Chains A and B, each alone.
Chain A
Amino acid sequence: MKSLNGARIRGMILRYLLLALGTVIFTLPMIYMISTSLRPNGALYEYPPRFFPKWEALTLENYGYILNQSKFYVNFLNSVFVSLSTITLAAAVSSAMAFVLGKFKLKANKLIFGFIILTMIIPGTTMIVPQFELATKLNLVNQLWGLIPFYVAWVIPFSTFMIKGFMENIPGEIMEASWIDGASVWTVYTRIALPLASPAIASVSIFNFLTAWEEYPWANTVINDTSKRTLPIAIAGFFGQHQFTQWGYVFAMSVLTLIPVVLIFILCQKFFVQGLTAGSVKG
């Protein structure tokens, strides 16, 4: 018995050691990014290269530059506007779709759901050419709000799929009672289905927020004006200036961009796990 215990303890220690090692490898790139953002631009090609800057060389000048000189606020607010609009609209339309598809037997259900699955299979970027043409026809090129319908359309399949799964699990009896009371579809949707499905909607919204917050290829294709750029394009733009890259600025801006995301992630961790696992375990 004793030896078994010993083996167990050894196993545990090994587990923790491996996990700790993994964690170090996971976080090194991020720590390096932060440490680079804290050193002066001139020290970037110092020899030997350092993982941490010298203590006395630590500086906030990159952050000062980003906050004062660049259009960071504008880019930040642009990203906030686009992301929040996307998640709000996506939550509204896809929860309604999920409610109808999950709770009622319409003839078109199969067809609609088939299309939803189909579009989940095709990588989004493959459609960039016809979507660009569409944006041109609708005059959505170089319009900040013009990003929103495209983002909403992108996240609808995944959102509907997830929320539908949740709606299906709402017991029929709860709704049955309302029907007998003569409630309308709208009432049942807003009073019963929505509140019950709110955890699913919340976790889907977090994913949608991330999608919209970090989207790069599409925004980079349709947005031109500096004042309409979202954060990813702004960062890429800082980098893209050839001949000398000011990594300090790039990474200071990156850190500032990541803060809201990491905060949301840590605060809403529970919803994250829920959203992720709902799809996978069900299959």
Chain B
Amino acid sequence: MVTKSRLNRAQLIALLLPGLLVFAAFTVYPIIRLFWMSLCDMSFSSMLTQPFNGIANYKEVFQDQTFWTVFVNSIVYTLITVPGQMAIGLFTAILLNGIKRFSVTFRVINYLPVVTSWVIASLVFRYIFNTEGLLNYFLWKILGVTSSNIRWLDTRWGGISVAMILGIWKGIGWNMVIFLAALQQVPQDLYEASDIDGCGAWGKFIHVTLPGIKGTILFALIELTIGGFNVFTSIKMITGGKPAHQTDTLLTWMYYKAFSTGKFGYAAALSFVMALCLGLLAIVQFRMMRNRDN
């Protein structure tokens, strides 16, 4: 065919090249470089020499108490926010799927948190969850469910909780939209068949809806897991890692080590471990998806 001709091949490459170059230079090269940096001594004091250092950076990371603290924080954040936003998003989608009027209005409003930038949303949440803030006043003086101001932002799990609530609040809209699209593709006759079998609403959900949207659930799982480990701006804005790095996550801690103490080698090693783990996790999840397709 015509595509085989020399000329066309040159044109194809010309079309590919600009994108590939940018991509290779600013994304692929840094990944490779990251690995190399993680094997070098790259502190402020050895800025110019960058001697090869073997696995010393990795050793330092794994022997560091704070690393394990922030590691647990990231795991907890992901384990709670991912199912949290998926469940609420799916529930909202199911509610929306059954109504006709105002469906678009609800959808637009519920999606607004997604388009709100992380910096702004984090500051709003920080303001609301202030010890002297509106929420504590509401809980204590109006509802009476607490008997003092809760120190949300001052403790390890308090700070992480606020970040998690923000993460869920901001993620529900995205889940709602993709689940709504998935729900609309579940064949209607399956529901009718289950009606005849005498299934209740819950039965229908388990036997028809969930299998019907399995692909979307896996897709969301992969995307949100990556997003969960990518949490950065909200922690930086809400607690800044305080008190004493106890609310830091993997990335905020990595950033602190690199840009506040100059330990770029340590930061590179931590980043590389993270990238590797997430890569493996995603491959497993992709496999699960492919199995479902076959």
Chains A and B in contact, CB within 8 Å: yes
Query: Which residues from A are CB-within-8-Å of B106?
Result: 19, 23
A213 CB-CB contact with B under 8 Å: yes
Residues from chain B with Cβ under 8 Å of A33 in the complex: 120, 124, 127
Main SS class of interface, B: helix
Stretch at the interface among B12-20, B64-72, B150-158, B203-211: B12-20
Set B113, B128, B169, B182: member contacting A32, Cβ < 8 A: B128
Indicate if B73 sits at the interface (CB-CB under 8 A).
no
Do the beta carbons of B123 and A250 come within 8 Å of each other? Answer: yes
A258 to B227, CA, bound (A): 22
Report how far A15 CA is from B100 CA in the complex, Å.
11
Question: Does B45 belong to the interface (CB within 8 Å)?
Answer: no
Q: Is the CB of B12 within 8 A of A235?
A: no
A283 CB-CB contact with B under 8 Å = yes
Asked if residues B26 and A124 are in contact (CB atoms below 8 Å), the reply is no
Instruction: Please give, as numbers and ranges, the residues of chain B lying within 8 Å of A106 by CB-CB distance.
Output: 12
Q: A195: shortest Cβ distance to chain B, in Å? A: 16
List B contacts of A244 (CB < 8 A): none
CB distance from A47 to the nearest CB of B (A): 9
How many chain B residues have a CB neighbour from A under 8 Å?
A: 95
Q: Is the CB of B26 within 8 A of A149?
A: yes
User: Does B192 reach chain A (CB closer than 8 Å)?
Assistant: no
Say if the beta carbon of B255 comes within 8 Å of chain A: yes
Q: Given contacts A49-B137, A94-B19, is CB(A126)–CB(B271) below 8 Å?
A: yes
Q: Which stretch from A59-67, A70-78, A152-160, A196-204 is at the chain B interface? A: A152-160
B224 to chain A, nearest CB (A): 12
Whether B125 and A51, one on each chain, are in contact in the complex, defined by CB atoms closer than 8 angstroms, is no
| Cβ-defined contact, A156 with B230, below 8 A | no
Compute how far the CA of A129 lies from the CA of B141 in the bound complex, rounded to whole angstroms. 47
Find chain B residues with CB under 8 A from A42 CB.
none
- B115 near A265 with CB under 8 A, answer yes
Given A23-B110, A26-B169, answer yes or no on A15-B218 (Cβ-Cβ < 8 Å).
no
Q: When the two chains form their complex, are residues B123 and A221 in contact, meaning their CB atoms are under 8 A apart?
A: no
Complex alpha-carbon distance, A276 and B23, angstroms: 23
Q: How many chain A residues have a CB neighbour from B under 8 Å?
A: 93
Contact A127 to B278, CB < 8 A, known contacts A16-B99, A179-B3: no
Complex CA distance for A49 and B139, rounded to whole angstroms: 12
Q: Which residue of A lies closest to B293 (CB)?
A: A283
- Chain A residues within 8 Å of B202, by CB: none
Contact B134 A235 (CB under 8 A): no
Q: Which residues of A contact B16 (CB under 8 A)?
A: 96-97, 100-101, 112
Contact in complex: B110, A26 (CB < 8 Å) = yes
In the bound assembly, the distance between CA atoms of A99 and B3 in angstroms comes to 13
B115 near A281: Cβ-Cβ < 8 Å: no
Give A283 to B162 CA distance when docked, in angstroms: 32
> Are the CB atoms of A262 and B95 closer together than 8 Å?
no
- The verdict on A123 contacting chain B, using a C-beta distance below 8 Å, is yes
Task: Kindly state the separation between the CA atoms of A278 and B112 in the bound complex, as whole angstroms.
Answer: 20
The contact string, 1 if C-beta is below 8 Å from chain A, for chain B 1-44, is 11100011001100110111011011111110110010000000
| Residue A55 is within 8 A (CB to CB) of chain B in the complex | no
Complex partner residue of B218 from A48, A123, A261, A283, CB under 8 angstroms: A283
| 8 A Cβ contacts from B251-285 to A | 251, 254-255, 258-259, 264, 267-268, 271-272, 274-275, 278-279, 282
Would you mind naming 20 contact pairs between A and B with Cβ atoms under 8 Å apart?
A29-B121, A29-B128, A30-B116, A45-B132, A93-B22, A112-B16, A120-B226, A122-B31, A123-B274, A128-B258, A129-B268, A129-B271, A134-B26, A134-B33, A149-B22, A217-B232, A232-B117, A265-B108, A280-B178, A283-B219
* B contacts, CB < 8 Å to A: 1-3, 7-8, 11-12, 15-16, 18-20, 22-23, 25-31, 33-34, 37, 92, 95-96, 98-99, 102, 104, 106, 108-113, 115-121, 123-125, 127-128, 132-134, 137, 141, 169, 172-174, 177-178, 181-182, 185, 215-216, 218-220, 222, 226-227, 229-230, 232-233, 236-237, 251, 254-255, 258-259, 264, 267-268, 271-272, 274-275, 278-279, 282, 289, 293
Residues of A within 8 A of B (CB): 11-12, 15-16, 18-19, 22-23, 26-27, 29-30, 32-33, 36, 45, 48-49, 51, 92-94, 96-97, 99-101, 104, 106, 112, 115-116, 118-134, 149-150, 152-154, 156-157, 160, 179-180, 182, 184-186, 189, 210, 213-214, 216-217, 221, 232, 235-236, 239, 247, 250-251, 254, 257-258, 261-262, 265-266, 269, 272-273, 276-277, 279-281, 283
**Chain A to chain B: the 8 pairs with minimum beta-carbon distance, closest first:** A214-B117, A153-B26, A93-B19, A277-B181, A123-B230, A185-B11, A130-B30, A130-B33
